Structure 1
Amino acid sequence: MSTAIPVRHRPWWLVAVRAPVARRSMRELGYVASGLPLACIGFSYAFCALLFGSVLLVTFIGLPVLAVGLAGCRALGHLERGRARALLGLEVAEPEPVRTLRRSSGAMSWISALLRSGVSWRHLLYTLLHLPWSVFSCMAGLSAWVVGWAMLTFPLWEWFFPAYVDHPALQVGDGITIASPRQEGSRVLDGGAELAVIAACGLVVVLLAPWLVRGLVQVDKLLVGGLLGPSSLAARVTELETDRGVVVDTAAADLRRIERDLHDGAQARLVSLAMGLGMAKEKLDEDPRAAAAVVEEAHGEVKLALQELRDLARGIHPAILTDRGLGPALSALAARCTVPVAVTVELPGRPAAAIEGIAYFTVSELLQNISKHSAARRATVEIWRNEERLLIQVVDDGKGGASVEGGSGLAGLADRLGAVDGLLVVDSPAGGPTTVTAELPWR
């Protein structure tokens, strides 16, 4: 039983031969062909709205006409995004909606919001630019397809025209014409060599036509993505809102962790200490030895509670990081790791305090993962500065298989780095080694 060859493994010549009948080529040709009538409708609507709205600005109805025109252009843009999604597989996010002022409502507020919206004017610009480009792309793309297939099937005409059209053949005079009887100064294309050459040229055009259309479609993708999608500022605002949510969720999780550690650790020990000291107070007069033993036990509890509080404080922000910087702090962190770790820090100075803290806790979490999951024998930590970026690379020789997918700890770490315009890249093939590279802004 034969199996289909995966697209990524097909040789280039097979891709070229299949291109004229490939589904993608048909969809792209359909996109180019369907774009011209829609472009005519959109251009006519936008031009008339812009013309009449501009002329009528001297009256009170000019602004409403412009607003209605912009609203219609936004509707046409929604249709164009859907057409690009259906035929080209191009996913363009919906732009930001029209936002009216909070303290105003009604028709005038809607009109004002439409006229102030940069998205609306970009949709208008798209409808005006789409027509000339659609005329060019449709004529070039369809002409290449029609001419190519016409030349490729040219030998069939030698049979078709004499049998069904009552003409002897095609003749070349002032262009290619169907003529009967033969015209003076023209030559009948009926030789086998001539038909073969024309068919061969047609085959070349047929094979090149899909790539011509694909190139034309790339311009359409740029127009749709650049003018009908959200603006870069709006996309940045959305990204910052998402990052802010990640930061808030991370801070809330850290607070819950600290509360849980205090409740289950130091607080429980202090409660036990208070109870022990109360018992010692009661036995002090009756049984001094028993009271002394209770006090001794309470002293041990105090030491353990202090150690837990120190560990908790180190988990919040280690004092050595504040006092001496990343190099000594990471060396102390590596000394507590169950795997031998070599630390190399080459920094010309100290980054911003917040970035320094994120870098420390990033290395801390990565070393914890190495201790718990990697089965590694050794690891290295390297930190250096590249222009305005702080780079961290942690390598271990463990079993590999680490991934940022599936809600793992690395996924949460990647989200926290992304909240400050950072980046996390994991290279961990099965069998190892694992290389995790983190990138943070210097300031």
Structure 2
Amino acid sequence: MATEYGQGYGDGHGFDSGLSVAGERRHRLPAGLRAPFEGRTWRAFGYVLLSLPISIVLFTYAVTMVALGAGLLVTFLGVPVLAAGLAGCRGFGAMERVRARSLLGVEVADPEPLRMRKSGVLAWVGAVLKSGTSWRSLLYAVLQFPWSVFSFVIALNFWAYGWAALTYPLWFWVFPVYAGQDGLQLYGDGTHNIYLNNPFEITVTALVGLLFTLATPWIVRALTTVDQVMVQGLLGPTRLSARVVELESDRGVVVDTAAADLRRIERDLHDGAQARLVALAMDLGLAKEKLTEDPEAAARMVGEAHGEVKTALQELRDLARGIHPAVLTDRGLDAALSSVASRCTVPVQVEVDLPARPAPAIEGIAYFTVSELLQNISKHSRATWAAVDVWRVENRLMVQVVDDGVGGADSSGGSGLGGLAERLDAVDGILVVDSPAGGPTRVTAELPWRAVG
């Protein structure tokens, strides 16, 4: 494990404290009062305003191209026209993902690309027509138009009427000066006319405007929530494609991990047991030559070779234990974790509460996770005690390692904990690190429960 504990966290902790104090000062104003002035609100409002002209263009393009392509299907031209229309919708979808990312802060991954087994125009047309992304982009173009009209009308009216009523005390004089009436007309017919012109009515109007102004940001955000759902659901990757990408990435991690393990085993064999056995063979050869000339020297060399054999055997046992310990296969996690805990430099309390043994692959990952974490504690934590708990929750195997060391462990970057998190992710596992500066450190691993057989 290469993770360093307690390095460089003093200044960082102070910096975080300063940020939190500054944040408290900056946010002393309640969220409801500062919402109309926040950049997030204005970006959402800008998104709603832009949605109307964009949706008009997109809807017109989509309907025109689809109608033209469908009408020309009786000829060969209808197929490429329809494909061109779908491709244009995909292009609009890419623009909409960028707009949602810039104005709404929504990170939407790009959908799966076109899968073309051959090159050429016909292959491209077939790939576009077969792609689910193309048809979802067309559906987005159709659905966004009525929704953008609705959200534009609601947002603009609430915003305009809210600010107009709120600032009415500042500009109500415009009506008697330029319109020849006492104020803003609330009601009027041939007999009666009601104007907002006395101090009480002006004050009530401003208060109503204040309510509208304070409510408008939340209404706009609620409207853009629907836009987020449509962008993520129709313009992003499907769950199946995202899962395929995740599995492909996990497969790469597994392959890299296996290759690294093989290189480690080869290095340990070459630098350890193999080198020792080569030296042992040379020593035995020299002892054989001296056997008749100097029996005492030969016996002494044989005795030294016997010690080398014991050392080589111990190295091979350690190497075999690193590949897969026999105690894990024979007696399970409880005995195996107790064995690895006994080699830790600090006292370790081990508690395993499992109703049955998990699958060998999951059991092995849990064992090596605890082994690496305890090795990390021995090297870096400066702890005085540690504890290992293993239990099952529904269909998940939970592993938790706690120590009272200096803390500061970080799973980001290229640390050992980061590599461990990647290994767990390859089997749909999760690694959670809670290690504030000063300790204690609590690392929780969650693995899928798979029964034996």
Place the TM-score, normalised by the shorter chain, in its bin.
Answer: over 0.9
Q: Deviations over 1:64-105 (max 9, x none)?
A: 12111100100111111121122222221221211112xx32
> How many Å apart are 1:18 and its aligned residue?
2.4
By how many angstroms is 1:323 displaced?
Answer: 1.3
Task: For 1:101-180, list aligned pairs within 5 A.
Answer: 101=117, 104-174=118-188
- The letter of the residue matching 1:198 is T
Give the whole-Å Cα distance in 2 for the aligned partners of 1:123 and 1:282: 84
Q: Which residue of 2 aligns with 1:31?
A: 47
Q: Secondary structure at the match of 2:227?
A: helix
Are 1:87 and 2:103 an aligned pair? yes
Shift of 1:168: 4.6
Residue 209 of structure 1: CA displacement? Answer: 0.8
Residue 65 (structure 2) aligns with: 49
Alignment of 1:209-248 (within 5 A): 209-248=216-255
TM-fit CA distance, 1:5: 7.5
Change (3 A) 1:12 1:136: farther
Tell me the equivalent position of 1:402: 409
Secondary structure in 2 matching 1:421: coil
Match in the other structure for 1:326: 333
Partner of 2:13: none
CA distance in 2, matches of 1:263, 1:5: 56
- Please state whether the residue corresponding to 2:73 is helix, strand or coil: helix
SS, match of residue 192 in structure 2: coil
| Cα displacement (A) at 1:7 | 4.9
CA distance in 2, matches of 1:39, 1:25: 21
Partner-residue secondary structure (3-state), 1:345: strand
The answer to which of 188-197 and 202-211 deviates more is 188-197
1:283 paired with 2:290, answer yes
1:7, 1:399 → 2: CA distance? 28
| Correspondences of 1:330-341 after superposition (within 5 Å) | 330-341=337-348
Residue deviations 1:236-257 (CA, integer Å, cap 9, x gap): 1111111111111111111111
TM, length-normalised to structure 1: 0.93
1:431 has 2:438 as partner: yes
Amino acid at match of 2:199: G
1:12 to 1:147, Cα distance in 2 relative to 1, 3 A: farther
Counterpart Cα distance in 1 of 2:317 and 2:372: 18
The residue that corresponds to 1:207 in the other structure is 214
Compute the displacement of 1:12 (Å).
Answer: 7.3
Partners of 1:379 and 1:394 within 8 A in 2: yes
Distance in 2 separating the partners of 1:140 and 1:8? 33
- CA distance in 2: counterparts of 1:136 and 1:282, whole angstroms: 99
Structure 1 unaligned blocks of 5 or more? 176-182
How far did 1:8 drift? 6.3
1:418 matches 2:422? no
CA contact (8 A) 1:157 1:169 kept: no
Q: 1:65 to 1:399 in 2, by over 3 A?
A: same
Q: List per-residue Cα deviations over 1:292-319 (Å, max 9, x = no partner).
A: 1111111111111111111101111111
Deviation at 1:13, TM superposition (A): 4.8
3-state SS of 2:379 partner:
helix
Moved over 6 A (4+): none
Q: What is the rounded CA distance, in whole Å, between the counterparts of 2:436 and 2:101 in structure 1? A: 35
Distance 1:303 1:170 in 2: 102
User: What is the CA distance between 1:54 and its match in structure 2?
Assistant: 2.4
Give secondary structure in 1 for the equivalent of 2:292: coil
Q: What displacement does 1:118 show?
A: 0.5
Structure 2 counterpart SS, 1:285? helix
- For the residues of structure 2 that align with 1:263 and 1:273, how far apart are their CA atoms? 14
Deviation of residue 60 (structure 1)? 1.7
Question: Are 2:407 and 1:391 equivalent residues in the alignment?
Answer: no
Distance 2:34 2:433 in 1: 37
Alignment partners' CA distance in 2, 1:8 and 1:139: 36
Distance 1:188 1:168 in 2: 6
8 A Cα contact 1:247 1:419, kept in partner: yes
In the alignment, the residues of structure 2 paired with residue 4 and residue 301 of structure 1 have an alpha-carbon distance, to the nearest angstrom, of: 61
Which amino acid is 1:392 matched to?
A: V
CA–CA distance in structure 1, aligned partners of residues 414 and 221 of structure 2: 38
Instruction: Write the distance in 2 (CA, Å) between the matches of 1:316 and 1:14.
Output: 58
Question: Are positions 1:345 and 2:339 aligned together?
Answer: no
Q: Secondary structure at the match of 1:284?
A: helix
C-alpha deviations, 1:12-52, integer Å up to 9, x for none?
75332222222221111111011001101111111122222
Distance 1:91 1:9, change over 3 A: farther
CA distance in 2, matches of 1:106, 1:162: 72
Query: 1:24 corresponds to which letter in structure 2?
Result: R
- Render the CA deviation track for 1:116-149: whole Å, top value 9, x for unaligned: 1011111111000000110110000000001111
1:74 equivalent in structure 2: 90
- Please, what is the CA RMSD of the aligned residues? 1.9
Residue of structure 1 in register with 2:36 after alignment = 20
Matched residues, number: 432
**TM-aligned CA distance change 1:371 to 1:4, over 3 Å:** closer
Find the aligned partners of 1:4 and 1:382 in 2 and give their Cα distance: 34
The 10-residue stretch of structure 1 (417-426 or 248-257) with the greater mean CA deviation from structure 2: 248-257
CA contact (8 A) 1:53 1:63 kept: yes
Q: Which has the higher contact order (CA 8 A, sep 6+)?
A: 2
Mapped contact 2:182–2:197 kept (Cα < 8 A) = no
SS of the equivalent of 1:290 reads: helix
Q: Structure 1's 362 and 4: CA in aligned 2 closer, same or farther, altered over 3 A?
A: closer
Q: Structure 2 unaligned runs (5+)?
A: 1-18
- Indicate the larger mover: 89-98 or 311-320: 89-98
Change (3 A) 1:237 1:4: closer
AA at the equivalent of 2:89: C
